[in-house]
A and B are shown apart, each in its own frame.
Chain A
Amino acid sequence: MSRPGVGTVYRWEARKLVSQKRTYLGFALAAFVPLAFVVALGLENGSPENVPFGRYVRDSGLAIPLVGLVFGSVWFFPLIASLVAGDIVASEDQNGTLKTILTRSVGRGQVFAGKVLVAITYALLALLLYGTVGIVAGILASGYNPLVTLSGTVVQPDRALLLTFASFGVYLMPVIAIASIAVLLSTVTRNSAVAVVGTLMLALVMQLLAILPGLGGLQPYLLPDQFNAWQGLLRIPADLAPVGRAAWVSALYAVPSLLAAWIVFMRRDVAGG
């Protein structure tokens, strides 16, 4: 019998998620939102002119997932990311099962690492689903056509598709930061609802701070700005500066959050349950 590690925890955390109905709520939402957007486009004339790529949603299906990224940054992806991340430690507290797994042969650090990895995997899969459904639905609705970039040049559909997936990759960075904050709140508050709502509120407060007059200098260091970093990829030539900034600013939120959560998790008393 070998000593289990992070991989064991990861596998079982994933199996636990698969066995819970609420796991599918996030996935269902991630699939539903782009579908609803495409259906709404079919029912109405016009297009969302004032968002990037909004004016092209009827010309190229590949514009539709990109518009989805813009809309998703306000509350949708913070919600999806925190849905599992905010629950992943707190639910063990509320269930009393933390003592069950911490009296086996896995260390606390391994349990924590496995949980964080699963929370990030969930956010990644939800984002992938959101993007894939958006791309497929968009292509079905508006065709697999060339896309006009933000710098006005036109790229062929194959390259546009590649850039769209790359954009989702960049988008994942602030999503991971949000998930990390949710893990911290989940660990500290030991309450799933508080962790999920708290993370969402924090994301909304950052949105508010980003638009408040006089706080413009703060904006590049807030997460909402990082949710738009992917737009740098959709310029010709590509502007990679916002992508680089998104990487370190997101890390600036994610790493201290996870570190603090890890310290709390390692030292805390498991007195409930």
Chain B
Amino acid sequence: MTQAASHPVEARGLVKRYGDVVAVDDVDLTVRAGDVYGYLGPNGAGKTTSLRMLLGLIRPTGGEARLFGHDPLVEGARALDGVAGFVEAPRFYPYLSGRKNLELVHGYDGGGPRAKIDEVLDVVDLADRAKDKVGGYSHGMKQRLGIAGALLREPRLLLLDEPTTGLDPAGMRDMRTLVRRLADGGMTILLSSHLLAEVEELCDRVAIIRKGSIVFEGALADLRRSAAAAGWKLRSGDEERALAVCRAQPGIEEPRREGEEIRFTATESAVPELVVALVEAGAPVHSLAPEHVTLEALFFRLTEGDGTAAPAAVDGGAAPAPAEAQS
């Protein structure tokens, strides 16, 4: 990982163990400049722990994390230059006003023109409540103050951990609009979320984490493509013979009979060969069609159960580990 070619985020083999519990297991992440990168997974999958390791808040048991080529564990606060964000809910001093809290974090960044504070307060629409103590803020206001605190650093990389959690629908919409606006301005964003719809709406690349391990990393478009053609359904006049052919055919995975249909997963290239094999075996083909799986269904397959629906690695991302090996 040379600094000249360094990406905003590069994590290699990140591991975090707490005793016997493996919270993060060999995670690789690459966020490129300009990405709006979704870090998707159910609650407790290891997203926040990964982000804390990226920011140097917790020490990895193994592996390393670099931000623009700098390791926070080695270089300390200097490694966070150009980086801002928050993990879990942003926290502030409840006995200080919103403005005072921003002045404090601005001071901890070395200070600068106070007009900058007014500017970010305007961006997050908190200017009229800036003098109120944070202890009286709603959850949504604290989230927005967290964004304001992050923007004070004028970051090139923004890390946001579940930024819409706990917000009402209008708050979620406003937060997503803000994130979209920042991304459109050229900021690289790493957005952790357990909400697929949020990631679909905002992100172009995605990593899906399940029980501490990455089960997919790549372009969201590729994930959609694999979702669209993940499974196939076959109707034949002779189900027994057709099932036997499917079981014997290379490239056909998990064939099973469900009522009058045979379902299986396969790559597109294996399907024509299957048709030939069925015809040669004398099994009539009444219909053969891709099973349309929604992205949401694929997400649940990847993150729940045995996770056997891991799609192929794409877009130069890390190869997804076999789902069977994750748990």
Contacts and interface: CB of A to CB of B under 8 A. Distances in A.
Interface of A: 1-4, 8-9, 11-12, 15-16, 19-20, 95-97, 99-108, 267, 269-271, 273
A97 B91 contact: yes
Contacts, number: 99
B57 A1 contact: no
28 contacts: A1-B110, A2-B111, A4-B109, A4-B111, A9-B108, A15-B104, A19-B93, A97-B92, A99-B55, A99-B91, A100-B92, A101-B105, A102-B56, A103-B80, A103-B84, A104-B80, A104-B109, A105-B109, A106-B77, A108-B76, A269-B52, A269-B57, A269-B58, A270-B52, A271-B49, A271-B57, A273-B88, A273-B91
Contact of A4 (B52, B85, B96, B107): B107
B87 interface: yes
Nearest to A5: B110
Nearest to A20: B95
A19 B112 contact: no
A103 B141 CA distance: 20
B86 interface: yes
B107 A103 contact: no
Contacts of B78: 105
A8 B77 CA distance: 15
B256 interface: no
Contact of B109 (A1, A15, A99): A1
B277 to A, nearest CB: 55
A104 B57 contact: no
A105 to B, nearest CB: 5
Nearest to B49: A271
Interface string B194-214: 000000000000000000000
A149 B89 CA distance: 60
Main secondary structure of the interface of A (DSSP, over half): loop
Contact of A103 (B57, B58, B94): B57
A15 B101 CA distance: 11
Contacts of A16: 93, 95-96, 104
B65 to A, nearest CB: 14
Contacts of B92: 97, 100
A105 B77 contact: yes
A107 B108 CA distance: 10
A102 B57 contact: yes
Nearest to A21: B95
Interface of B: 49, 52, 55-59, 76-78, 80-81, 84-96, 100, 104-105, 107-112, 149, 153
Contacts of B87: 99
Contacts of A101: 104-105, 108
A100 B76 contact: no
A100 B92 CA distance: 7
B166 to A, nearest CB: 14
Given A103-B84, A103-B86, A270-B58, A8 B94 contact: no
A106 B107 CA distance: 10
Contacts of B59: 267, 269
A15 B97 CA distance: 12
A182 to B, nearest CB: 21
Contacts of B149: 100
B293 to A, nearest CB: 36
Contact of A8 (B84, B85, B107): B107
Nearest to B58: A269
B58 A104 contact: no
Which are the 8 A-B pairs with shortest beta-carbon distances?
A96-B91, A104-B108, A269-B58, A270-B57, A1-B110, A107-B76, A105-B109, A107-B77
Nearest to B101: A100
Contacts of B49: 271
Q: Which one of B49, B76, B89 has the highest number of Cβ atoms from chain A below 10 Å of its Cβ?
A: B76
A100 B91 contact: yes
Contacts of A2: 110-111
B80 A105 contact: yes
Given A97-B93, A105-B77, A3 B105 contact: no
A95 B107 CA distance: 19
B165 to A, nearest CB: 15
Given A16-B93, A20-B95, A271-B52, A99 B108 contact: no
Contacts of A269: 52, 57-59
Contacts of A105: 77-78, 80-81, 108-110, 153
A20 B95 CA distance: 7
A107 B56 CA distance: 11
Contacts of B85: 103
Contacts of B112: 1
Contacts of A106: 77, 108
A90 to B, nearest CB: 14
Contacts of B86: 99-100, 103
Given A96-B91, A267-B59, A11 B80 contact: no
Contacts of B100: 15, 19
B91 A95 contact: yes
B57 A12 contact: no
Contacts of A19: 93, 95-96, 100
Nearest to B94: A95
Contacts of B108: 4, 8-9, 12, 101, 104-106
